[in-house]
Structure 1
Amino acid sequence: MEKDIILKAENISKQYRLGEVGTGTLNHDLNKWWHQIRGKENPYLKIGDTNDRSTKGTSEYVWALHDINFEVERGEVLGIIGKNGAGKSTLLKILSKVTAPTTGSIKSRGRIASLLEVGTGFHGEMTGRENIFLNGAILGMTKKEIASKLDEIIEFSGCERYIDTPVKRYSSGMTVRLAFAVAAFLEPEILVIDEVLAVGDAEFQKKAIGKMQDISRGEGRTVLFVSHNMAAVKSLCTKGLVLINGKVAMVGSTEQAVNYYLSQDSESMNMRTFSSEYDKPEFTLHEISLNAFGKSSEDPLDEYQKIELTTMLTLKDSSKKLHLTLVLNNDAGEPLFTFSHINNDLKLTDGLNKIKCVFPEGFLNIGTYYLSLFIIENGKSALFIEKDIMSFIIQEGERPIGAWMGREPGFIKPRFEWSIDN
């Protein structure tokens, strides 16, 4: 069966000169012009650093995007994920024709509506109603077509009381509500959305995700969705694209893309193997690992899973009466709680010990956590201490549509026993 490709990116690259607008010097401009009139390649395309914001680099040119290739079928929802600075917003601006690529081309079939940043395309001095007509006109719609959708747009946005008030007096949440309603209801073939859920409340998140599903599944239109909210990406998207340093690292199913993205972060490595420096006269520390129950340490951990923490240690002399104590800290370095196997009357024996601790299902909230390890002798003195011996990430789990998307307050999520007496 032939694919119905609605959007295709071919060899898309975008180069910027750091600290300058344009090339920055007359010499560079003349050099580019001279190559252009002779039909030769731009000489500055052969130079430039990879888009890695964490390094200083050696060139004044940087490739925000480099050789991006992908295609999207009609009705697909493509989730574009990556770290801050990976090139996600730059790619969406090129797809939306807000900026032009340095090299490559975009081929699309149909109108593209974009929601890139809060208030993009809105005029602050104009009312919400006037901005609806302005955005519709930009999308190529007639006044009659816009008027036919006006009531639906206003109702969905929840801004009816303020619709005749200048947009400059709207909060960021109100602005993004109205902008999303305009983009979604004016029936573009391709809807491009950049972090629309970031400033929305729970009610808006529910409505926005539901509307995006209706657009793609019910109406057969295409959505390109950028978000750092992995739960929203998993629940909404049918395919994922991972950007790392301005390059496509992988394209695949949503589950594959999210797992690949999380596995690239060194903090999400759920296993640490120790070298000979942890071989002490009294013990040898081999490994600490975490895994979701029934899975390996290579799989990401999420907020709803039962989690096993395993420490492998060889005790060389049982007369030393050693035990492990661990402290779990949050990403601000604050201790959350202390735990130890000695509280269960479990003792280390000579030889290899595989010490397991199980966190109950749904115990830890979303976030980054750090383990500190103490090896205690005779129950009172610390023989070995290492703060932040390893870190791990708890990611968002699968949530039903309509549930709050994002991190709730607190660091642990205990499941208490509840009852109601009527």
Structure 2
Amino acid sequence: MIILKATNISKQYRLGLVGTGTISHDLNRWWASVRGKEDPYLKVGAVNDRSLKAESNYVWAIQDINFEVRKGEVLGIIGKNGAGKSTLLKILSRVTAPTTGEIKTKGRIASLLEVGTGFHPELTGRENIYLNGAILGMTKAEIRSKEQEIIDFSGCQMYVDTPVKRYSSGMRVRLAFAVAAFLEPDILVIDEVLAVGDAEFQKKAIGKMQDISRGDGRTVLFVSHNMVAVRDLCTRAIVLEHGKTVFEGTAEESVEYYLHTENRKLTNTGIYYPDNSKHEDSEFLLNSVSLHNEKDEQAALFLSEQKIKVKFSYKLTKEMKDLRVNLTVLTNDESIVFVTSSHDADTTNKSPGTYTSSVMLPSHFFNKGHYRIRINAGIPNVKVLLKPVVALEFEIEKLTASGSRVTEVFPGITAPNFNWQVSKISDET
């Protein structure tokens, strides 16, 4: 059953002013409406790209968004900062109205959009539980039956009769999430606020959202920059870019698409040249980082049975003691595979000059998938010479015994090839 349907949702804002615009613009809109004409300001407006200079007084925060959500689904909404995710959730939660389009929903919607949204700072935590329940349309008896569960889940028992204005942001988020989750809305809308909570609470909150969708059959709309959480929690996801939907699919497919289109200095040729034009006076200048196969050819695609050589070239402008160049290998969702350091093998003092160094990544180690190389350098406990920079990405393919490409692999970040031994110790009698 479709529980939420968004059709041609767009939201236009006027830049630089509070409100919708000027009296003259409102009169123009009214006159167009009287004559049965389209709103003249719907034909103007810049694309929602925060990095560009404004060419118009209007901007489309989101434009022509269409999707459906079925009962019991967990829909992830992902994208960069400023892509329109929070604007979309505010429209879905009826905090603001769309400029064009319509939203059809069935049942109650509970929203957790910002820290403490819907809480009255002068009221106690307990009073805010009843206030939020009433806003959701629940009776006092229904709220009372859930009151202790909410307090226990939030972990704020000691402060529940203290005004919310004295809560930390983490405590507010704990109580707000508990209220939204336990007062049984049909649709739960959650923005990035869970990032405010500690690790223990985030784990507990994600577990509760899984119970809500899988156990209770309720619907969750979830916005997060934590790609691991999106992939593990969501059944489907949409990717927003500059206020428009650019991809819709399974959570795995959407996360993969998003991470591959991030605006980073990545290259598929196996070599990275940083821009050192602004750092001529630096003591440490990274000239290049490159990936090489076993034939010493630059590459970005490797078979799992191949070794990968990572080469560095850098320049020192003064004598350096205890220099350490660190290499971190990451998965697409930012999980760290491992970290290795030049200091583990080379502790000599270095005079000014240009240096090259390399490290060999082992064969039969990586699982099939996409990986990233992050570089940083410094002198431990003294100074940072190069802040962490994602320099390269590479892909690992696995082959079957017949030589065809593996499409499904065992789960896990790594897939080392261990030697198994089997010995027969007795005969059946």
Tell whether the 8 Å contact from 1:268 to 1:393 is kept in structure 2 after alignment.
no
The C-alpha deviation readout for 1:96-141, integer Å capped at 9, x for no partner, is: 0000000001111111000000000000000001100100111111
Structure 2 unmatched runs, 5+: 273-286, 294-298, 312-323, 329-338, 348-357, 378-386, 395-429
User: CA offset at residue 16 of structure 1?
Assistant: 0.3
Structure 2 match to 1:410: none
The aligned amino acid for 1:369 is: R
The C-alpha deviation readout for 1:35-67, integer Å capped at 9, x for no partner, is: 122221110000011100011131111000000
Q: Secondary structure at the match of 2:7?
A: strand
Structure 2 match to 1:61: 58
Structure 2 match to 1:117: 114
Alignment partner of 1:369 out of 352, 374, 395: 374
User: CA offset at residue 271 of structure 1?
Assistant: 2.5
Structure 1 match to 2:4: 7
Pairing 1:190-339 to 2, within 5 Å after superposition:
190-267=187-264, 269=266, 271-272=268-269, 288-289=290-291, 297=300, 309-310=308-309, 327-328=325-326, 337-338=341-342
Q: Secondary structure at the match of 2:193?
A: coil
Aligned residues, how many? 331
Change (3 A) 1:306 1:261: farther
Structure 2 match to 1:357: 360
Structure 1 unmatched runs, 5+: 276-284, 300-304, 313-325, 344-354, 373-386, 395-422
**For the residues of structure 2 that align with 1:146 and 1:230, how far apart are their CA atoms?**
34
Change (3 A) 1:288 1:274: closer
**For the residues of structure 2 that align with 1:215 and 1:168, how far apart are their CA atoms?**
29
Change (3 A) 1:19 1:207: same
Structure 2 match to 1:130: 127
Structure 2 match to 1:32: 29
The aligned amino acid for 1:201 is: D
Where does structure 1 differ by over 3 angstroms across 4 or more consecutive aligned residues? Answer: 272-275, 285-291, 296-299, 305-312, 326-330, 335-343, 359-362, 387-390
The C-alpha deviation readout for 1:65-92, integer Å capped at 9, x for no partner, is: 0000011111011111100000000000
The C-alpha deviation readout for 1:3-48, integer Å capped at 9, x for no partner, is: x111111000000000112343222111111112222111000001
User: CA offset at residue 359 of structure 1?
Assistant: 6.7
Q: Secondary structure at the match of 2:83?
A: coil
The aligned amino acid for 1:194 is: D
**For the residues of structure 2 that align with 1:105 and 1:290, how far apart are their CA atoms?**
53
Tell whether the 8 Å contact from 1:262 to 1:268 is kept in structure 2 after alignment.
no
Alignment partner of 2:150 out of 135, 149, 153: 153
Tell whether the 8 Å contact from 1:9 to 1:69 is kept in structure 2 after alignment.
yes
**For the residues of structure 1 that align with 2:194 and 2:13, how far apart are their CA atoms?**
29
Structure 1 match to 2:181: 184
User: CA offset at residue 244 of structure 1?
Assistant: 0.5
**For the residues of structure 2 that align with 1:95 and 1:83, how far apart are their CA atoms?**
19
TM-score using structure 1 length = 0.70
Q: Secondary structure at the match of 1:12?
A: strand
**For the residues of structure 1 that align with 2:301 and 2:31, how far apart are their CA atoms?**
53
Change (3 A) 1:342 1:162: closer
Tell whether the 8 Å contact from 2:50 to 2:82 is kept in structure 1 after alignment.
yes
